[in-house]
Structure formats: structure tokens, C-alpha cells
Structure 1
Amino acid sequence: MKIFNNINDHTAYHAQRRSDVMMASDNIKSFNYAQAWAHINAIAAHLQLEGIRKGDRVAILAKNSVDNLCIFLGCARIGAVAVGLNYRLTAAELDFIAGDADVKFLFMDQEFNSLRGDYLNSVACVCIDSDESARSLPAWLASPASLVDVDIKGDDILFQMYTSGTTGLPKGVLISHANVMANSYQVLMSTGGGFREGERGLVIAPTFHAVGLVGALLGVIYGGSMIIHRDYDPVGMIETLAKEHINTVAVIPVMLQFSLAMVPNIKDYDFSELHTINYGASPISETLLKECIDVFSCDFVQGYGQTEATVALTFLTAADHRKALAGRPELLRSCGRAVFGTEIKIVGKDGSALPLGEIGEIVANGPQIMQGYWNNPEATGKTVVDGWLHTGDAGRVDEEGYVYIQDRVKDMIISGGENIYPAEIENILVSHPHIQDASVIGVPDAKWGEAPLAVLVSGGQPELTAEELSEFCRGKLASYKIPRKLEYIAALPRNPTGKVLKKDIRSMMAEKYPTV
């Protein structure tokens, strides 16, 4: 008996068994599994005609679409490695990534032509979203091409995804077919949810990011049907959830906040078929969770992970959320427990394991851990040590196995010799009814060396004074953790995955707080 060992086996299986079931639909086209499989094979055959072989890198500079997903799967069909490019980067940044990856071919939305630098202009290109060019996708596929089958193994690289580069130059994370399949099983085993055969999921997160791409692949693996949004639109998301009978969606909490704020009649929509909202990138406040449950009447699941772990290391399950609302609100500050088949421990600076409750670096071991960084053995050796992924996140684990992220290790504030983790403070700040969003950074302090600065978004509410903020935090935080200074800005800068860009906040505050 053959056991599936690559993503192609899953797609082919559903194309044969569930041929007339919709695989993916956007506002332009809709493919059932049989049509999608034919399209995938045609793309794969034409890539071979262009000289693309197993292991070659193929870049995709495009927004979400059915064609984008099929191109990714077409690369997988012949063992080419897809490299999703973040269209929010500059041409220079994209050229660095493309050159680092040694990209041999480019698929692109026409609107991003201006983002092609010297390197990307030097490789063959097919335009996805325009029928006018001679190198449009339909024109490119019009000529005959025969697919030569390629042997794909589980440890072959499926995609190369670049880290955001917030701590230096972006690094190409190598994720294999086996990594993705293992993580898909872990999601199902650990939450009991995710895409299920015959269900409908909404894909909003961009597929150059792990949440968007791996989320879509879960749909393919389990035979689900995906409605694909090109961009996040607060109103459009709500309308699609209701009108398209969506069962599951992955978001970040701020997307829920925006939708609740921008759809005043949101309670008039019918979300009766929505059973799970998955969220990540940041915790959810008890206030927002209660409001969302009141509106959507569905389960909530929080995931924690990073690109180097395919997508998920822990989950705070639907049952955990119910526990939180039934008298254990502290669980909402946790990112849950390790997924099936994964070990998590907390280590000190010397790499030794710390006792339960102590704060150190979160490290993880499991089948979803990356194969390494592309052409960067030094960085790989520092990040994966004896099979353990060093996440760079500071946290603790309690006696029940719940993981609490305190912050990025590099974002820790040292004030008067005490370690302060901004995330702990931020979780308290966002519980204030007049604070829509919050970030905490360290700023120079003549007495203590560093002190926490609260950078707040009011969301139209009255702005608090430093004294009012201190009073609110009193009793909730140790005295040395309470921010004595605050600044208001219109919105926190975030990367495409929803993570707050603290380096940008530090730049904003640098003039007022020198050497931040």
C-alpha cells in the first residue's frame, strides 16, 4: 500500500475521487479538483518546457488567486521550489531575495512590474493577471507541452519562504513536503478542527506568508473548498463568511477588530455555518473574544509558530477558550500547548533546561521543523541545535504544559537590573476600554538605564494621561513594569503577518527619546 509522501499525491487523489467538488474560487475563476489538477499539470509541463528542473527556484510575485495557488502546486508537481515574494517590499529588497534564491523563472501580477529590479528583469517572466501580454498565463499555456513525471520524496523541498528580516537580512527557510504534511496532521490531531473534507474555508492571508500558504495547502490535503480573497477587506470578509457559507477562516485579531468596527450591522449577517475562527500573531483580549463570540457564535483557536516551524508549534484550543471564559482568563495570555508530536522546553542562555515557570528561550523539536536556511549553514547551526529549533521568543511553561510568550528575547527591557518582557505589559494595556492597540519598547532612563514606554492607539477613545495609565496598571503589574511614559500614534506599524514592527516604533520615537 502506498502512503502519500508529497503534496502531489493528495491533489491527484482528490482530483480522481472528488473530481466535481470545487477546490478553489476567486472573483475571476473557479476550479473543481479535476479542472485544477489539469491546470496544475499544464503549468508543470510548460515549466519543464522552459528548462525548469527539480530543485530550481521559481518566484511568485502576486496577490492571492486561484492561478497563484495552481502555480505553486505546478512547481510542486515537478519538484521545483516555489519562492513567494512579498509585494510590500521594495524592488531592492525583492532583488536581494531573488538573487539569494537563484530564481530561474518568475510569475507576476502586472501591477508589480515596477518592483522588478535588475535580477528579476533578467529571468523569464509570465504575467498572471493580464491577458494582453504575449507572455500572459493563457498565452503561455496555449502551446502544447507534455509533462515528464518526476519522483518527489517527502524530504524534497516544497517551498522556500523568506523571513521578514526584522533582525537582519532575510533568510530563506526550507520547508519540505514532509514538513507540511506532518504539520497538517498535527493541526487536526491537536485541535480536532481545521479544513475537513467537503468544508469551505476562506483564504485571506497572503500566500507569501506561511499562514496563507500552509492554510491553503491544508485545504488541498483534506479535500476542502477554498474561497480566495485577493486582499483583506473588512466588509468583504464579513460578507463572504456569511454569503459563501464559510466553515473556517484564519485571521489576526486586528482584522476582527476592524471588521467589527466597520460593519455596523454585523449582527444581521448569518454566520450559522462558521464553526472555527483561527487566529495568531498576537493574543486576543477577553473583551474582543466575548464580542466576537457574541457575533459569530463559533469556536476560537489560537496558533503559535513561525516560518521555521512550517506554521504551528502550539494551539490554544476551542476548549481552552471556553475554560478562559468560564473562570480562567489567564489562559488567553497563553498560546496553548504543544501540538501532537512536538516537544517544547524553556532553556537558559547556556542552553540548559529551566524549571517550570521560569522564563527563558522557547525551543521546540518536532517533524515540522525546517530543513534549514538556504545556503546559510552558519545561521542554520545557530537556530537548530541538536534538532531543537531556537525560536528567539522568551517564555515560560506552566505545570499543565501551557506556553506563555513573554516576548522576543531581543525585545526584553532591562530596567534597574530587572528583566521586563513587553508582551506581558501589552496584554494588560489592551484590556483597557480606551486602548485599541498597544506596544511597549524600552527607552533610555537616567536612573534605571532603561524604562518601558507605552505606545498606544486610542481608536477614537479619550486619550489617557500617564497617571491614569499607571493607576490602571497598579495591582496588575509589578511597580517596575508599569510604564511611566506614554505616546499616542494613529496605528501600530505591522508586517504582512500582523506582527508589530518594534524597530519602526523605535525609529518613530528616536528623536524624542534619543538612542532608543
Structure 2
Amino acid sequence: MAVPAAASVRDANRYRPPQVTGLVDLLDRQVRERPYARALVVTGERVQLSYRALASLADQVAARLGGAGLRRGDAVGLICANTAEFVVGLLGAARAGLVTAPLDPALPASQLSARLAALGARAVLLDASASGGGVAHAVPAWSVRVDVAAAGTAAVSLEPDVCEPHQLRGAAGGLSELDALVLFTAGTTDRAKMVPLTHANVAASLRNICVTYELGPEDATVAVMPFFHGHGLFAALLSSLASGGCVLLPERGRFSAGTFWDDMRAVNATWFTAVPAIHEILLDRSEREYPGPQAPPLKFVRSCSAPLNTATQRALERTFGAPLLSAYGMTESSHQATSEPLPQRGALRQGSVGRPTGVQVRVVDRDGRACPVGVEGEVWVQGPTVARGYLADGDASARTFVDGWLRTGDLGALDEDGYLSLTGRIKNLINRGGEKISPEHVEDVLAGCPGVADAAVFAVPDVVYGQRVGAAVVLREPDGLGREEILRYCRDHLAPFEIPDRLELVTALPYTAKGGLDRKAVQARYAP
């Protein structure tokens, strides 16, 4: 729908994009102009925490970290759920000039320790939801605790297990105080890549997100996606704080479908973002739980991190009474690269993930030449949000970052108006509700299980999650292990989302003439 020119001018005059240079000054404008406005809503009692209070807590953490011997440009890990401790730890570390690597608390301690070692982290910050014992042997661990009173006053404590941080060998030598974050891509500890993002990358990403959705102080959302992923970190948390909005952090820092709409009402949310699997869950439960007229009026709903089928999109729009906007991004582009626009800013295209947001997008053939309109090729991205490469992996950087362009590994096509449609993935990662799972990693773990001779991991189609994890396992002895014993081993060595949902015991696996696992044959034989 076209917008009259006069209305566009009025909207432009009213809307103020965030002016931040990175994580360091993320809160500054709000502290100056709206110090007592709510920034976070936290705890089961849904207590409001103002921008002034949040900035004060971050400054206290920064002072403590700076006084502990950490130097500007040093790397620290952050292992927290979606809690006030995560936000205070992240912003405090940034204000101390440190580079923060958020990590998934659900990963086994061995993987957490290995990632901290690969990074060269000098310390790690933990909240009560994280198990510090497993990583404390790798690096010094500080326990972060934020106590919020009913009146909105708050205090932070930072208790080190070891007072002196130490330097591990790792990739930290490639970092500087220009860097803000290091995010890990999907895969095993050996295969997961470390993506350094500068404060300039962060600032560009937040501006693009806020401008796309016209986020401002009147907006509020509920944190659905985990903050250790770019989706939850950039799209929900940081963009809201940069624009002066408010984020409700669910009790215990984890999404709960059962309390979601109560949380939305409590904060008078105007939007939320999630992966398709969560949208499916909310839609399935809507007949019982959606509050209808009592629900807060939504400006839009956002979907990202995995494809959302058109039927679900339309059903969500009918149920929630708001446009559902699909977006596309990746860790290496500081999350968002494209998005469908707000209805008043452009047309919505069925099956599209929208137009570029502050970056250039092109689709190329195998020779790197631009494909004509409507022709499928690999999606490449260039712009201020794109990372400079991977830490400590020159070969992968050379393959993925070419003359300033990010080769995404995704297939897609552009239409005549620059809208991007994704048609598939080049890589063979399993996408379980937005969680990218390396089949090779799960196979490596299965191969380490006593009694397992061989294993192949494949994607199982699923109406809720998009894909689930399947595994075909060859036993050393036909009457050896049972399925439950193998799954018990997996639960001890894999993150919860990596554990196979389907486990087949087979006598042999198909291999190609060259001796490699024939993944197409595995998929055809075991996935249906």
C-alpha cells in the first residue's frame, strides 16, 4: 500500500533512528533523555528496571572487571540464560573495553571449555543457571548476580572463583578493543567457527533493524530467542535497548509457551520475533491460550532463522491480527541482511524474506557472475554489518569472504524489485527450529559410544521444527547396545537439541565409490 508523501514526511520527522557507535554507548541516549523509562522487565514478579539503573549496574561490573587485571581487547566468555545477569554482564564487559563471547549454557562442559580455550578467553562470567564447575578449570569464573527489588532498585555482585585472570593460547591475539563480540557458528568445537564482530558491525546492524521496523521508545517485546544467538541478541535485546524500548525477560530466562501471552500483556508488547518452530507452537496452542481482545495490539510479528511456510504465516496473521514479516540473516552478517518491510513501507511478497536492509545482496552462479532476475544461485552479502572473517581460520575465511562479499552458502533468487527468495541450503546442516546442527559432530559423538561401529546422521522432516535429527547406527555386535543406552550416551555428550529424535539400528551404511558416506542414499533410505 502506498503512503502519501505528507504522511511519509511526518513519520520521518517523528521517527529517530538510534545513534550508537556500538555496545559501549548503547544506553547513553536513553540515560540522558529518559533515565527512568523501563529498559527491562525481570524476575517472576515482572519488576521494571530503568535505563539509569541498568547503566549503573553495567558500570559497576565494568569497574570490577577493569580492576581485576583484564585489559581492553581481552576476550571473556558469557554463559547465562536470558537473564538480567546476561545483559549486565555483556554491557559491563563492553564498557570495560572487553570482547564478549556469549555461549550456550546447554552445551556440555567439555565443549564450553574447549570453545573458551580456542578463543583464548581470560575469564568467564556465569549466572545461576550455568554450571561453573565444568569450565572453572579452563578459565577463571566470575558468578554474576543481579538482585532487583520490587521498587525497581537493583544491586549487582561479582564473585570471582579466581581473582587473577590468565591468558590461554587461542585466537584472542586477533582481537582488539574495536571488537565487541565473538559469536560461534554451528558445528562441533573443532568445526564451529569464531566470528569477530566490531562495535561498528553491531551499530550498523542495530540501526538497520530499528529502521526496518521503526522501533522506538513506545515499543516493547518479550525475549523469546536465546541471547547467545544473533537472532535473540541483535533483533530482540540490543535493538530494543538502542531504540529506547523495553524487553521482558521471562522467568528463569527461558521461553515458555504457557506464560508467553501473560508476559506479552504484562509488558504491553508491540511485537516479537521467533523461529518458525515457536510460531507453530504458539499457533497450535492459540485456541486455548491466545487472549484474543485482551492481547496487546501488535504492530508486527517477525520470523527469522529458518523458512516459514506460507500457510502458517497467513494463519498467524489471521490469529494475531498483525502482519508477519520474514527476515534473513546469519552470524557473519551481524544477524539481519534482509527483511520484509512494514506494510506501510512496501508490499509483502509470498515466499520472500524481503529486501536488503542496509547491505547489498546479489545472487551469483558458480563462476561468481550475477544471475539474472529469478534465476537461482548462491546468495552473497556485502556491507557494514559483514564480519572481516573468522578468527584463527584463514582457509575458511578465504573461502567465505571474497573481495568484501560474504558467501552465505544459501541458494536463492532475486525478483525485479530486489526481494530475495531462498530456495535451499548448500551446506548439509540440519535446521531444527533455527538450531543449526552439524551431522558430522553428532556422528563423531555416536562413533565414540562403546559398541558403535558406524553412524550416519540425517534430517527428518517435521511439521513443527522443520527438521529433526535422525541417526542410523551400526553396532559392533548385533546383540550389543540397545537404543536407550545409545541415547543415554548422547544425552551425556550432546546439547539437548542435537540428540537424535529417531534412532535406527542397521547392519550397514551406504558409501560412495570414493569411500565417502553417501548422504543422499542415507536420507532416502532412513528419513521418510
Q: TM-score category by the smaller chain?
A: 0.7 to 0.9
Q: Distance in 1 between matches of 2:408 and 2:401?
A: 9
Structure 2 residue 423 is the aligned partner of structure 1 residue 399: no
Deviation at 1:406, TM superposition (A): 1.6
Deviation at 1:15, TM superposition (A): 1.2
Deviation at 1:271, TM superposition (A): 2.4
**Per-residue CA distance 1:289-327 (angstroms, 9 max, x = gap):** 232222211222111010000011111234399956xxx
Deviation at 1:372, TM superposition (A): 2.1
Structure 2 residue 258 is the aligned partner of structure 1 residue 241: no
Q: 2:109 aligns with which of 91, 97, 110?
A: 91
Which residue in the other structure is 1:303 paired with?
A: 327
- What are the equivalent positions in structure 2 for 1:3-402 lying under 5 Å apart? 4-27=20-43, 30-113=48-131, 116-117=134-135, 120-128=136-144, 138=157, 140=159, 156-165=178-187, 169-189=191-211, 191-193=212-214, 195-215=215-235, 216-229=237-250, 230-269=253-292, 270-319=294-343, 331-340=349-358, 342-402=359-419
Residue pair 2:264, 2:296 contacting (<8 A) in 1 also? no
Residue pair 2:221, 2:267 contacting (<8 A) in 1 also? no
Deviation at 1:383, TM superposition (A): 1.2
Q: Distance in 2 between matches of 1:62 and 1:167?
A: 19
Q: Distance in 1 between matches of 2:189 and 2:502?
A: 14
Aligned length: 413
| C-alpha spacing 1:202/1:111, structure 2 compared with 1 (3 Å) | closer
Partner SS for 2:254 = coil
Larger deviation, residues 289-298 vs 201-210 = 289-298
Which residue in the other structure is 1:445 paired with?
A: none
Partner SS for 1:31 = strand
Residue pair 1:200, 1:246 contacting (<8 A) in 2 also? yes
Deviation at 1:166, TM superposition (A): 6.6
Letter in 2 for 1:206: P
| C-alpha spacing 1:507/1:99, structure 2 compared with 1 (3 Å) | farther
Partner SS for 2:24 = helix
**Per-residue CA distance 1:66-113 (angstroms, 9 max, x = gap):** 121011001111210111111222222212210011111111134432
| C-alpha spacing 1:360/1:167, structure 2 compared with 1 (3 Å) | farther
Which residue in the other structure is 2:453 paired with?
A: none
Residue pair 1:163, 1:172 contacting (<8 A) in 2 also? yes
Residue pair 1:241, 1:274 contacting (<8 A) in 2 also? no
Partner SS for 2:117 = helix
Q: Distance in 1 between matches of 2:106 and 2:311?
A: 32
Deviation at 1:376, TM superposition (A): 2.3
Q: Distance in 1 between matches of 2:131 and 2:296?
A: 42
Deviation at 1:267, TM superposition (A): 4.4
Q: Which runs of 5+ in 1 are unaligned?
A: 142-153, 325-330, 413-421, 427-440, 442-452, 460-499
Q: Distance in 2 between matches of 1:505 and 1:267?
A: 29
| C-alpha spacing 1:111/1:227, structure 2 compared with 1 (3 Å) | closer
Letter in 2 for 1:381: A
Q: Distance in 1 between matches of 2:72 and 2:503?
A: 43
Q: Distance in 2 between matches of 1:121 and 1:91?
A: 10
Deviation at 1:282, TM superposition (A): 2.2
Q: Distance in 2 between matches of 1:172 and 1:139?
A: 27
Residue pair 1:201, 1:246 contacting (<8 A) in 2 also? yes
Q: Distance in 2 between matches of 1:381 and 1:512?
A: 37
Deviation at 1:212, TM superposition (A): 1.3
Partner SS for 1:349 = coil
Larger deviation, residues 222-231 vs 21-30 = 21-30
Letter in 2 for 1:316: E
Q: Distance in 2 between matches of 1:335 and 1:323?
A: 12
Deviation at 1:36, TM superposition (A): 0.8
**Per-residue CA distance 1:193-235 (angstroms, 9 max, x = gap):** 3x31232121121111111111311112111111112111112
**Per-residue CA distance 1:127-171 (angstroms, 9 max, x = gap):** 23599xxxx952649xxxxxxxxxxxx981111010012796111
Letter in 1 for 2:98: A
| C-alpha spacing 1:280/1:27, structure 2 compared with 1 (3 Å) | same
Letter in 1 for 2:281: F
| C-alpha spacing 1:504/1:265, structure 2 compared with 1 (3 Å) | closer
Q: Distance in 1 between matches of 2:407 and 2:146?
A: 43
Residue pair 2:145, 2:157 contacting (<8 A) in 1 also? no
| C-alpha spacing 1:90/1:140, structure 2 compared with 1 (3 Å) | closer
Given the two structures, how large is their TM-score scaled by the length of structure 1?
0.72
Deviation at 1:62, TM superposition (A): 1.1
Extract structure 1 runs of 4+ deviating beyond 4 A: 320-324, 503-513
Partner SS for 1:218 = helix
Residue pair 2:97, 2:177 contacting (<8 A) in 1 also? no
Q: Which runs of 5+ in 2 are unaligned?
A: 1-18, 148-154, 161-175, 433-438, 440-457, 465-496, 511-517, 523-528
Of all paired residues, the percent bearing the same amino acid is 22
Partner SS for 1:354 = coil
Letter in 2 for 1:225: C
Deviation at 1:356, TM superposition (A): 2.3
Q: Distance in 1 between matches of 2:312 and 2:249?
A: 26
**Per-residue CA distance 1:341-362 (angstroms, 9 max, x = gap):** x211122222222222222211
Identify which of structures 1 and 2 has the higher relative contact order when contacts are C-alpha pairs closer than 8 Å and 6+ apart: 2
